Amino acid sequence: MVWVINFAVKIINMPKNEKIFTDNYKIFLDSVDIPILILDKFDLKTVIYSNELIEKTFQIDKSQKNYTDFFLDENLIKHLSYHLFSFPLHQEIEIDERFFILKSTKIYDYIFLFFNDISLIKKNDMIKRRYVDSISHELKTPLTNILLYTEKLQNCLDESSKESLKVIYSNAQVLKKLIDDILVLSKLDSHELLITPSKIKLRAMIVDIMKELMPLADSNNVDIEILVPSDLEFYGDKKLLHRAFKNLIENGIKYNNSGGIVTIKGLLEKNTIAICIDDDGIGIEKKDITCLFNRFFRADEGRTKGNTKDGTGLGLSIVKNVINQHKGIIEVNSEPGKGSKFKIILPTVYS
Ligand code: ADP
């Protein structure tokens, strides 16, 4: 986008009364490889100039001055009418199975609209996702068999072999979790997993999660405390939020010390609900907090040794994705040796 900056600088440095769209500028605009449309800033309708790529990319009637007649595609006109008033504009739009990032900038009396074609990136993403999905599905069946037969062998072996079998079993479980996480993330990315909102009773959901995590909490000697009023209700996708909260509570148990505690609080604030999952465990170093939600990120192995062996590094990216899709936010506060606090704020009604 260096050319845009250069172009803007040239225009800004020009005397105000100089005509912007001299032939030189038109030649310049026609030579760039992004479709550009320039509208009058005041009426937001009159087409001042369109570069050659606009003509090649969209169906237009060049004799028309109003963009609603200039473009012949109803869908494109709808997008423009809907988004033109938001400023600065940065919106993904789909026109005839092609994808564009529509951006705008105001320069003097003009609005410049840039239609950045991202169809190829989208197509490549889809191919990659399908590829990852197929591999993951192919791996799932043999792994399920490994887990099944390992369970069966459990009772036919002597004590020392049982120990080896345990190692095989727990490693196979990590691989299965990794595959499940990859498949969920891939679905979330593709927006295939649409949010299905229904009424959620937060306390009941947290109690269910606690029951599922009790064996882990017992074996790590970590307590779980639930401070959620029983009448706290909101709307969201039950399955996805269950997964997200479970991941956070599970982390609070996994990255904790024996005798530690995980506290879950719920609070209604006007049109939002706040869910806090706090632990007094090993904590997270400042330098790691910014990468926490990156895929496959796991904090320094040395520091968390023994705790991270069954992790995939994908849990928190799923959490973030689920919260984003609910138009919520997630905040983290943590101090090494003192513990971590994860706060989620969600709208009470999903729209
Ligand atoms: P994992 O499967 O490794 O637990 P996550 O995405 O859930 O993956 O977490 C990423 C990393 O963030 C973990 O490996 C761990 O190092 C760190 N982490 C997450 N939650 C906590 C927590 N409550 N306390 C300390 N470290 C944490």
pLDDT tens for residues 10-50? 655 555 555 556 677 778 888 888 999 999 988 989 999 99
Pocket flag, ligand 1, residue 256 (CB < 6 Å): no
Question: What pLDDT sits at residue 300?
Answer: 72
Regarding whether 331 and 205 lie in a shared domain, the answer is yes
Regarding whether 334 and 204 lie in a shared domain, the answer is yes
Regarding whether 340 and 204 lie in a shared domain, the answer is yes
Please state, in angstroms and rounded to a whole number, the distance separating the CA atoms of residues 92 and 69: 22
Q: Which has the minimum average pLDDT: 188-202, 204-218, 291-305?
A: 291-305
pLDDT tens for residues 126-148? 899 899 999 999 999 999 999 99
Bridge partners of 335, per DSSP, are: 339
Regarding whether 337 and 246 lie in a shared domain, the answer is yes
Question: What pLDDT sits at residue 1?
Answer: 56
Regarding whether 320 and 230 lie in a shared domain, the answer is yes
- End-to-end CA distance of the chain, in Å? 35
Regarding whether 334 and 322 lie in a shared domain, the answer is yes
State the average pLDDT over residues 207-227: 97
**299 C-alpha to ligand 1 centroid (Å):** 7
Compute the C-alpha angle 304/307/311, nearest 5°.
Answer: 105
**182 C-alpha to ligand 1 centroid (Å):** 16
CA 147, 212, 225, 235 torsion-angle sign: positive
Please state, in angstroms and rounded to a whole number, the distance separating the CA atoms of residues 197 and 194: 9
C-alpha to C-alpha distances, 34 to 2, 103, 125, nearest whole angstrom = 13, 11, 21
Please state, in angstroms and rounded to a whole number, the distance separating the CA atoms of residues 184 and 321: 10
Looking at residue 229, which CATH number applies to its domain?
A: 3.30.565.10
Pocket test for ligand 1, best of 177, 243, 251 (most atoms within 8 A of CB): 251
Atom of ligand 1 nearest to the CA of 252: 23
Looking at residue 162, which CATH number applies to its domain?
A: 1.10.287.130
Looking at residue 97, which CATH number applies to its domain?
A: 3.30.450
Pocket flag, ligand 1, residue 298 (CB < 6 Å): yes
Pocket flag, ligand 1, residue 312 (CB < 6 Å): yes
Question: What pLDDT sits at residue 15?
Answer: 55
Band of pLDDT at residue 207, cut at 50, 70 and 90? very high
Please indicate whether residue 190 or residue 71 has the higher confidence score (pLDDT): 71
**251 C-alpha to ligand 1 centroid (Å):** 6
Regarding whether 257 and 232 lie in a shared domain, the answer is yes
Please report which residue ranges of 198-300 form alpha helices under DSSP H. Answer: 202-220, 238-254, 286-289
Please indicate whether residue 290 or residue 16 has the higher confidence score (pLDDT): 290
Question: What pLDDT sits at residue 19?
Answer: 55
The mean pLDDT value of the chain amounts to: 89
Please state, in angstroms and rounded to a whole number, the distance separating the CA atoms of residues 69 and 236: 41
Regarding whether 166 and 134 lie in a shared domain, the answer is yes
Q: Domain of 279?
A: 197-347
pLDDT tens for residues 100-132? 999 998 887 889 999 999 999 999 988 998 999
Question: What pLDDT sits at residue 14?
Answer: 58
> What b/e string do you get for 330-339 counting C-beta neighbours within 10 Å, with b at 16 or more?
beeebeeeeb
β pairing state of 98-107 and 110-117: antiparallel
Regarding whether 205 and 340 lie in a shared domain, the answer is yes
Regarding whether 91 and 58 lie in a shared domain, the answer is yes
Write down which residue in 69, 92, 117 finishes a domain.
117
Atom of ligand 1 nearest to the CA of 311: 2
**283 C-alpha to ligand 1 centroid (Å):** 10
**313 C-alpha to ligand 1 centroid (Å):** 7
Please state, in angstroms and rounded to a whole number, the distance separating the CA atoms of residues 213 and 215: 6
Is it the case that residue 84 has pLDDT exceeding 90? no
Pocket flag, ligand 1, residue 313 (CB < 6 Å): yes
Q: What is the pTM of this model?
A: 0.77
State the average pLDDT over residues 305-314: 68
Q: Which of 60-64, 71-75, 162-166, 245-249 has the highest mean pLDDT?
A: 245-249
State the average pLDDT over residues 313-326: 95
Please list, in sequence order, all residues whose beta carbon lies within 8 angstroms of the beta carbon of residue 90, skipping any fewer than 6 positions away.
101, 102, 103
Q: Exposed (0-12), middle (13-18) or buried (19+): which is 146, by Cβ within 10 Å?
A: middle
Band of pLDDT at residue 190, cut at 50, 70 and 90? confident
Pocket flag, ligand 1, residue 263 (CB < 6 Å): no
**296 C-alpha to ligand 1 centroid (Å):** 10
Is it the case that residue 171 has pLDDT exceeding 70? yes
Write down which residue in 62, 89, 117 finishes a domain.
117
Please state, in angstroms and rounded to a whole number, the distance separating the CA atoms of residues 274 and 263: 14
Is it the case that residue 283 has pLDDT exceeding 60? yes
Question: What pLDDT sits at residue 12?
Answer: 54
Q: Which has the minimum average pLDDT: 13-22, 58-67, 305-314?
A: 13-22
Atom of ligand 1 nearest to the CA of 283: 25
Share of the chain above pLDDT 70, in %: 91
Q: Which amino acid is at 55?
A: E
State the average pLDDT over residues 146-166: 88
Phi, psi of 226 (to 5 degrees): -110, 115
Pocket flag, ligand 1, residue 279 (CB < 6 Å): yes
CA 207 from chain center: how many Å? 27
How many domains would you assign to the chain? Answer: 3
Regarding whether 87 and 109 lie in a shared domain, the answer is yes
Question: In the chain, at which residue ranges do the beta strands (DSSP E only) sit?
Answer: 36-40, 47-50, 90-95, 98-107, 110-117, 197-201, 223-227, 233-237, 261-269, 272-279, 329-335, 339-347
Nearest CA to ligand 1 atom 20: 251
Is it the case that residue 301 has pLDDT exceeding 60? no
Please state, in angstroms and rounded to a whole number, the distance separating the CA atoms of residues 72 and 51: 16
Write down which residue in 117, 140, 172 finishes a domain.
117
Atom of ligand 1 nearest to the CA of 314: 6
Please state, in angstroms and rounded to a whole number, the distance separating the CA atoms of residues 156 and 85: 71
Question: What pLDDT sits at residue 159?
Answer: 84
Regarding whether 228 and 178 lie in a shared domain, the answer is no
State the average pLDDT over residues 299-311: 59
Atom of ligand 1 nearest to the CA of 313: 8
Pocket flag, ligand 1, residue 251 (CB < 6 Å): yes
**265 C-alpha to ligand 1 centroid (Å):** 20
